[in-house]
């Protein structure tokens, strides 16, 4: 978990997956997104055509624009982006006005889906950040 403060107009994320074979994704679990200017921030925008971002179980304040997600500099290529939300709360969490290229999940993304089933014994996992 962490706190993310928006200090002006913009996006929280800009994921840069270049192709579908790349397994990476940004998953924000139990974060707090806040700021001083309502509806000035978006959860993310695609930096590359296969952007993948999930916000789940998080507190989204009114700083989040009701559309939630944004296109990048007029690039309308959103056919392959994966922008999802799961059980967020707060004034910016409503999904009824979200852009058409986003969606909601039926289940949260689990730690084993991201790091693998053996993450507890993996040398590269720093458990002090978990």
Domain chopping of the chain, boundaries = 3-129
Pick the CATH number of 3-129 from 3.10.20.340, 2.60.40.10, 3.40.50.300, 2.160.20.10: 2.160.20.10
10 Å Cβ neighbour count for 36?
11
Q: Measured between alpha carbons, how far is 26 from 109 in angstroms, rounded to an integer?
A: 11
Evaluate whether 32 touches 5 at the Cβ level (below 8 Å): no
- pLDDT, residue 75, reads 65
Q: Is 118 exposed, middle or buried (0-12, 13-18, 19+ CB in 10 A)?
A: exposed
- pLDDT, residue 120, reads 86
- pLDDT, residue 63, reads 97
- pLDDT, residue 86, reads 99
Q: Measured between alpha carbons, how far is 57 from 88 in angstroms, rounded to an integer?
A: 5
Which parts of the chain register pLDDT below 50?
none
């Amino acid at each position: 978990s962490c706190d993310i403060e928006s200090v002006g107009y913009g996006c929280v994320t800009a994921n840069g997956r270049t192709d579908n074979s790349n397994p990476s994704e940004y998953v924000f679990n139990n974060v707090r997104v806040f700021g001083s200017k309502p509806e000035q921030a978006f959860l993310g925008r695609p930096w590359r055509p296969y952007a993948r971002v999930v916000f789940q179980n998080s507190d989204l304040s009114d700083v989040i624009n009701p559309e939630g997600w944004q296109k990048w500099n007029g690039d309308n290529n959103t056919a392959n982006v994966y922008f999802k939300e799961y059980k967020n709360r707060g004034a910016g969490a409503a999904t009824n006005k979200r852009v058409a290229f986003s969606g909601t999940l039926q289940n949260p993304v689990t730690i084993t889906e991201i790091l693998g089933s053996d993450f507890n014994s993996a040398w590269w996992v720093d458990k002090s950040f978990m």
